[in-house]
Amino acid sequence: MKQLNVRLDDQVHEALEQRAEAAGMSLPDYARKVLAEEADERRERFLTAAAHFSQAWAPAFEAEFGPYPRSAGARRPGTADAA
């Protein structure tokens, strides 16, 4: 097993601690989970396919259900706008 040491600014560290606590995990376990998910090629393929689906079918969904309600804080930081 390999070890990775990273430096985080205080805000990132605090945010990760809060998310780990909310998930009922220790910070090292939570960080390990997040990094493992990020390294999973299937996740990347799924997100790419989901973005493609969203772009291809957004007009049909909007025609059927109306525009998606967007608010200034609705997106999670670090996520791309798929539409």
Residue 40 falls inside a structural domain = yes
User: Quick check: is 4 in a domain?
Assistant: no
Q: Could you count the other beta carbons within 10 Å of the beta carbon of residue 60?
A: 9
Number of domains in the chain: 1
Residue 39 inside a domain? The answer is yes
Domain span at 44: 10-65
The model's pTM: 0.56
Query: What would the pLDDT profile of 22-55 be if each residue is shown by its tens digit?
Result: 999 999 999 999 999 989 889 889 989 999 999 9
Query: Is 35 contained in some domain?
Result: yes
Give domain status of residue 75, yes or no: no
pLDDT value at residue 82: 46
Whether 23 maps to a domain, the answer reads yes
Q: Would you say residue 33 lies in a domain? A: yes
Q: Distance between alpha carbon 55 and the CA centroid of its chain, in Å?
A: 18
9-31 per-position pLDDT tens digit:
999 999 999 999 999 999 999 99
**Which residues have CB under 8 Å from 29's CB, separation 6+?**
20
